[in-house]
Amino acid sequence: MRGSLALVLLVVSAAACNPNSEEAFTRGKSLVACLQNIPACPAGGFAACTLNETMYTEQRFPDASPFRFLVSALARETIAVTLFFKTEQGVGLDTRIFWYEPGCADVYSYESQGADLFAEAEEENTITRKERVYEGGDHLVEIFSDMQAVVLITVEVLVPQRYDL
């Protein structure tokens, strides 16, 4: 019995210490279901939630595609979107991320162009894409993907360094 307990504790602590684990990715963050309908541009569009550094969400692609959420950022900050691949069934050919300025007058995009994002993620199970925004406010972020996967999503707002201004 004592040996079994020690083995269980060893396995649990190994998972907690593994920087590539789901637990490490979500540590200190709250799960958000993202089931809201927050009015957002483009006209008639809705965001499912607002995310910040203290939150994460779990989405299934392609079911959640397009997945729309809001991120609050100041002018000249960078919004980093990180995807943790919880399950990987099919990489797909088309994953796109769009970052909109408030009011959706300007948009910036990342397109996978057929790249194997699962292979890029390697043992870390994550990829991060970043985009600088130039206006302060709530920024709509959209993720479109034909991948077949369950994905955990986090955001980070990066303050520009003095030499980036």
Residue 19's pLDDT band, with cuts at 50, 70 and 90, is low
Query: The domain at 27-164 falls in which architecture?
Result: Sandwich (2.60)
Contact call for residues 41 and 140 (beta carbons, < 8 A): yes
Is the model's pLDDT at 144 over the cut of 90? yes
**How far apart are alpha carbons 42 and 45 in whole angstroms?**
5
State the pLDDT at residue 162.
Answer: 65
State the pLDDT at residue 7.
Answer: 37
**How far apart are alpha carbons 16 and 45 in whole angstroms?**
39
> pLDDT exceeding 90 applies to what percent of the chain?
77
Domain boundary assignment for the chain = 27-164
Is the model's pLDDT at 130 over the cut of 60? yes
Strands 78-90 and 148-158 come out as antiparallel
pLDDT tens for 78-129 read: 999 999 999 999 999 999 999 999 988 899 999 999 999 999 999 899 999 9
Residue 143's pLDDT band, with cuts at 50, 70 and 90, is very high
**How far apart are alpha carbons 128 and 117 in whole angstroms?**
10
